[in-house]
Amino acid sequence: MREFRTRLDSEGQATIPVEVRRLLGVAAHDQLSFVVEDDGEIRVARAPEMGVIARTAGALRHNGPYYTAEEERKLAEIAIAEDAMARLDD
């Protein structure tokens, strides 16, 4: 067993020793997972990659008004017609 020590700064952050980063297979901007076991032991591991849904959640959030299905259909028809007209002009 090997022990590596580091110190917390005033914001509660610590630098993970390079040897530990190599063992975990992590680099800058990777996410870590801290798992607290029932006996109080803490495991640190590289967090699993998030799926596309988790990574993009909220990306299409919009602050405008919400439309009914019928309004959405009409707006889509208008957008398709405008796109078709723009293509004819090219």
Q: How far is CA 31 from CA 10, 25, 44, 70, in A?
A: 21, 11, 11, 43
Residue 77 has pLDDT above 90, yes or no: yes
Q: Identify whether 34 is part of a domain.
A: no
> What is the distance between the alpha carbons of residues 32 and 39, in angstroms, rounded to a whole number?
21
Strands (E), the chain: 32-36, 42-46
* Mean pLDDT, range 31-51, rounded to an integer: 89
Q: Identify whether 77 is part of a domain.
A: yes
- Whether the model clears a pTM of 0.75, i.e. scores above it, the answer is no
- Looking at residue 62, its pLDDT comes to 74
Q: Identify whether 1 is part of a domain.
A: no
Q: Identify whether 74 is part of a domain.
A: yes
How many domains does the chain contain in total?
1
Q: Identify whether 82 is part of a domain.
A: yes
Q: Tell me the residue range of the domain where 75 lies.
A: 62-89
> What is the distance between the alpha carbons of residues 13 and 24, in angstroms, rounded to a whole number?
18
